[in-house]
Amino acid sequence: MEQRMQPPGPLTRERMKTPRAAAIAGILFSVLLTTTLVLLRISAPAISPEMQEWSATKSGTVVLALNLVPFAGIAFLWFIGVVRDRLGTYEDRFFATVFFGSGILFLAMFFAATAVAGAMVLVLNAAPKLMIESGAYTFGRAISAQIMNVFALKMAGVFMISTATLAMRTHILPRWITLPGYALAALLLLSSRFADWLPLVFPLWVLVLSTYILIENLRGTKPGAAG
């Protein structure tokens, strides 16, 4: 007796839908990164070369800032996913590769810079005099600054350019967001000298972008409708 063939089941599952409020990840990343940079900026310069002003309060502020970094990284990864979901089938492979790669490189170097800074804090708390006299403090701070202020910021600039290009080609973002993105990215890429508050350019732009996407998602506006 001939057996009947069962109809094949569905080969693919329905694509998971990203929650409309997922864009809040970009806002969270912006808040965490801005808080981290501000806390480090107001605490680290207060340390004198002789470490006479190093205190438990300042140490605690730096530790708090560094402990926010992993959560900022998680939010940034989620933000990348939100942007890719917004692009959908309009995603260009070339710019999407640059967008994703520069974002991952920025995150990796951001983590590396804060890891060096965290190690410095641990040693400073244990043996501040030895740290200064050996030159390890100056060396470690220079490494952390180079990784964050030179390499990480350059990758942030590339990320902004690729994001703005994808958004402009697919019309998922208005020009009043993408065009300033190009200008601010050029500032990060071409700046030969590091300004104290220059890193804040990146999270502030992400904040504006994420807020716009969140509002559009809650309204139910389809991607490609941006003017």
pLDDT digits (tens, 9 = 90+) for 5-29: 554 444 344 445 555 666 788 899 9
In terms of average pLDDT, the best of 124-133, 163-172, 197-206, 213-222 is: 197-206
Measured between alpha carbons, how far is 81 from 75 in angstroms, rounded to an integer? 10
What's the pLDDT band for 31 if we cut at 50, 70, 90? Answer: very high
What does R_g of the chain's alpha carbons equal in angstroms? 22
pTM metric for this prediction: 0.79
Q: Shortest CA distance to 204 belongs to which of 190, 219, 188, 216? A: 188
171 or 226, higher pLDDT: 171
Across the range 23-51, mean pLDDT stands at 77
Cβ-proximal residues to 192 (8 Å cutoff; 6+ apart), any chain? none
Write the pLDDT tens digit of every residue in 138-156: 888 888 888 888 889 999 9
The answer to whether 198 and 188 have CB atoms below 8 angstroms apart is yes
Residue 51 Rama label (left phi>0; alpha psi -120 to 50; beta)? left
Q: Is the pLDDT of residue 73 over 50?
A: yes
- Rounded to the nearest integer, the mean pLDDT of the chain is 79
Q: Is the pLDDT of residue 87 over 80?
A: no
Tell me what pLDDT residue 134 has: 80
The answer to whether 185 and 154 have CB atoms below 8 angstroms apart is no
